[in-house]
């Protein structure tokens, strides 16, 4: 190469690098986001007796613990656990914490964790006396040792809590007959100190949300109390519990408050603290409240699916807070839309919702093929319980969504369903491969997401585009499924439409009679411009902490009220263009 050519080559490289930097720097800064359900490589149900309507993925009862500025997530029957630097991208560590007497199917069920010194401890549910308590000082790897090989204090759905005076406590219980118990433990030996103490129990005759059944009207069984958890702030102990049943949309978490770790406890005026009965994913019970690395509260909990089996479930995580009056609550508002992950500037007194709206609810769908009654519209009906399935998992099967208008697209969530799957237990070598194309006219297509070489298991894949695009049509094309058919429970496109928000909701009323004080009948006039409605409610007009997201209705029966408490309600309409103004607050005495 002569000197002139060399100079031209250097100039070309310099210009290319400069152009690349300019393009990169011209992209808008994107704060990282996530979308429920959490996109984890969930294991398949490992227990044959639970495979009633087909093999499927399943987990529940999650807990996140922060250890040395890293997040560690344990969940039922996963043959391992996950860890993350940012609570967005999770790495799985394969590990079988097997019970001594059962080395076939069962594993950690409803695990409890604890940070003790420089160690992370974990134990599963047990009523036995020979259960192992494990610890690790290197938990990003499968590097665990036995802390106690015969844990003498059995508890189902256990929770370990270390108080700031270094006293250690165990809470637990899972029953429709018995309460949540608490007991002090020796910090060094984990042996019990004194007798276990009954602390809280269900009072479903007063607390409407604690009633059993999808519509809080099932008298076949008494409701269940389970999933104990403990937090403390400003001298107040918040003992949390799940109710009334894991398979229901109204599965939630409640809280009692005390000035002492073993009570007496008083029912918090605002309950449930974690509740999500509507939207694409439903249920927010049996979870754990924790602080992120920026000292903001979050609540991770169980999402119900319950199609293949009552215990077909996923994990969801929601911003939480303790307000100035000491009220613990979780914000599940638009909780299955894109939300911001932990960041130093977050304020959990405010919503972490991005404002990216759903663009393709019940919009026209075309597909390559259809298996039986698993029709195309099931992929855009905002119900994770229903799904579309192609007749095969062949490369080239596709589903196409029409947004109706050219829209600004920010992100997609692709929720794969379990149809004719053949796997059981944890799988660490399975993966999804697909491509997503966008078009303005259904003639010219542009590849916007290319996962044709992906080797990661992504059952609820959430992808934020490098920068927003304009398109009307979205097409998802299959390349490889880990097992079963090419099936989708939710092809969800997020961004902003081209029009205006739907405006106000008129004639909103909250009716409450004397025959059943735990219920309220909410009614409103249909807004023809609305995709759906969002109702806020709570025990005070300035504490409307609970919410429900609804599609295609103009009434709602709220069954989550306490019998002798006044409630306040407010409603707003939303569509693909944004959210309308909230209505005046309605009082239900």
CA distances (Å), origin 481, targets 58, 288, 307, 384, 451: 18, 32, 20, 19, 12
380-418 in b/e burial notation, b at 16+ Cβ within 10 A? Answer: bbbebbbbbbbebbeeebbbbbbbeeebbbbbbbbbbbb
Average pLDDT over residues 286-303: 98
Q: Is the pLDDT of residue 400 over 90?
A: yes
Which 3-state string (H, E, C) describes 357-377? EECCCCCCEEECCCCCCCCHH
Short-list 430, 449, 453, CA closest to 438: 449
**Percent of the chain at pLDDT exceeding 70:** 94
407 in Cβ contact with 478 (< 8 Å): no
- Higher-confidence position of 280 and 12: 280
pLDDT tens readout for residues 44-59: 998 888 888 999 999 9
Average pLDDT over residues 189-210: 96
42 in Cβ contact with 417 (< 8 Å): no
DSSP assignments along 332-365, one per residue:
-TTTTS-EEPP-TT--TTS--B--PEES-TT--E
- Give the pLDDT band (50/70/90) at residue 100: low
Average pLDDT over residues 468-479: 98
Short-list 266, 269, 173, 273, CA closest to 224: 173
Average pLDDT over residues 311-323: 98
Q: What is the CA radius of gyration of the chain?
A: 25
- Give the pLDDT band (50/70/90) at residue 128: confident
Average pLDDT value for the chain: 93
Residue 196: the pLDDT is 95
- Give the pLDDT band (50/70/90) at residue 165: very high
Fold matches, 33-340 and 357-496: no
CATH homologous superfamily of domain 357-496?
Galactose-binding domain-like (2.60.120.260)
Q: Is the pLDDT of residue 490 over 60?
A: yes
Residue 50: the pLDDT is 83
CA distance 334 to 533: 11
Q: Is the pLDDT of residue 103 over 90?
A: no
- Give the pLDDT band (50/70/90) at residue 154: confident
- Dihedral of the alpha carbons of 515, 519, 525, 530, in degrees to the nearest 10: -170
Q: Is the pLDDT of residue 114 over 80?
A: yes
Q: Is the pLDDT of residue 423 over 70?
A: yes
Average pLDDT over residues 155-173: 97
Residue 9: the pLDDT is 38
Q: Is the pLDDT of residue 262 over 50?
A: yes
Q: Is the pLDDT of residue 8 over 50?
A: no
Residue 485: the pLDDT is 98
204 in Cβ contact with 210 (< 8 Å): yes
Residue 441: the pLDDT is 96
Average pLDDT over residues 379-399: 98
Q: Is the pLDDT of residue 68 over 80?
A: yes
Residue 219: the pLDDT is 83
CATH homologous superfamily of domain 509-588?
Immunoglobulins (2.60.40.10)
- Give the pLDDT band (50/70/90) at residue 129: confident
Q: Is the pLDDT of residue 553 over 60?
A: yes
Average pLDDT over residues 422-426: 95
Q: Is the pLDDT of residue 420 over 90?
A: yes
Q: Is the pLDDT of residue 415 over 70?
A: yes
Residue 4: the pLDDT is 38
Helix (H, G, I), strand (E, B) or coil at 472: strand
Q: Is the pLDDT of residue 61 over 60?
A: yes
pLDDT tens readout for residues 451-466: 999 999 999 999 999 9
Domain boundaries, the chain: 33-340, 357-496, 509-588
Q: Is the pLDDT of residue 105 over 50?
A: no
Q: Is the pLDDT of residue 92 over 70?
A: yes
- Higher-confidence position of 99 and 124: 124
Q: Is the pLDDT of residue 39 over 90?
A: yes
pLDDT tens readout for residues 219-233: 889 999 999 999 999
- Higher-confidence position of 478 and 131: 478
Does domain 33-340 bear CATH number 2.115.10.20?
yes
- Give the pLDDT band (50/70/90) at residue 29: low
Short-list 146, 128, 148, 144, CA closest to 136: 144
């Amino acid at each position: 190469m002569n000197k002139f050519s060399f100079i031209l080559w250097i100039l070309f490289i310099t210009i290319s690098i400069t152009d690349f930097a300019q393009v990169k720097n011209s992209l808008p800064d994107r704060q990282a986001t996530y979308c429920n359900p959490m996109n984890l490589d969930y294991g398949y149900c490992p227990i044959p007796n639970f495979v009633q309507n087909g093999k499927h993925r399943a987990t529940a009862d999650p807990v996140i613990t922060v250890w040395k500025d890293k997040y560690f997530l344990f969940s039922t029957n996963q043959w391992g656990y996950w860890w993350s630097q940012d609570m967005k991208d999770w790495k799985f560590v394969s590990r079988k914490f097997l019970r001594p007497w059962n080395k076939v199917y069962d594993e950690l069920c409803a695990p409890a964790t604890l940070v003790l010194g420089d160690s992370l401890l974990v134990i599963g549910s047990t009523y036995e006396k020979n259960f192992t308590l494990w610890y690790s000082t290197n938990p990003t790897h499968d590097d665990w040792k036995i802390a106690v090989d015969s844990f003498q204090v059995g508890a189902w759905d256990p929770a370990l809590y270390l108080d700031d005076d270094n006293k250690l406590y165990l809470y637990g219980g899972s029953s429709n007959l018995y309460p949540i118990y608490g007991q002090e433990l020796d910090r060094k030996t984990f042996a019990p100190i004194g007798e276990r103490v009954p602390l809280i129990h269900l009072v479903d005759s007063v607390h409407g949300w604690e009633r059993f059944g999808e519509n809080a009207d099932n008298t076949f069984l008494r409701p269940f109390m389970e999933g104990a958890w403990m937090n403390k702030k400003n001298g107040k102990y918040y003992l949390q519990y799940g109710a009334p049943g894991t398979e229901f949309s109204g599965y939630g978490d409640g809280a009692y408050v005390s000035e002492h770790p073993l009570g007496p406890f008083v029912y918090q005026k605002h309950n449930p603290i974690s509740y999500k009965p509507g939207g694409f994913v439903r249920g927010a019970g049996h979870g754990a409240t924790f602080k992120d690395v920026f000292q903001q509260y979050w609540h991770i909990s169980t999402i119900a699916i319950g199609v293949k089996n009552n215990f077909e479930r996923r994990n969801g995580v929601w911003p939480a807070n303790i307000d100035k009056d000491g009220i613990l609550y979780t914000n599940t508002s638009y909780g299955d839309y894109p939300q911001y992950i932990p960041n130093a500037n977050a304020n959990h007194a405010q919503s972490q919702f991005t404002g990216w709206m759903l663009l393709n609810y019940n919009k026209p769908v075309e597909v390559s093929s259809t298996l039986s009654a698993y029709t195309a519209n099931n992929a855009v009906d905002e119900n994770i319980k229903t799904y579309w399935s192609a007749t095969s998992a062949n490369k080239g099967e596709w589903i196409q969504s029409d947004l109706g208008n050219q829209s600004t697209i920010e992100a997609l969530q692709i929720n794969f369903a379990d149809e004719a799957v053949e796997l059981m237990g944890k799988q660490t070598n399975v993966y999804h491969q697909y491509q997503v194309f966008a078009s303005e006219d259904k003639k010219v297509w542009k590849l916007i997401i290319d996962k044709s070489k992906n080797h990661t298991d992504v059952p609820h894949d959430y992808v934020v585009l490098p920068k927003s695009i304009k398109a009307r049509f979205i097409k998802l094309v299959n390349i490889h499924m880990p097992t079963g058919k090419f099936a989708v429970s939710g092809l969800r496109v997020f961004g902003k439409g081209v029009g205006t928000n739907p405006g106000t909701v008129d004639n909103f009323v909250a009716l409450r009679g004397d025959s059943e004080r735990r219920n309220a009948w909410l009614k409103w006039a249909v807004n023809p411009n609305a995709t759906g409605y969002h109702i806020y409610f709570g025990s005070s007009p300035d504490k409307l902490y609970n919410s429900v997201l609804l599609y295609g209705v103009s009434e709602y029966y709220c069954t989550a009220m306490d019998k002798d408490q006044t409630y306040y309600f407010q409603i707003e309409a939303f569509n693909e263009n944004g959210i309308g103004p909230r209505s005046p607050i309605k009082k239900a005495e």
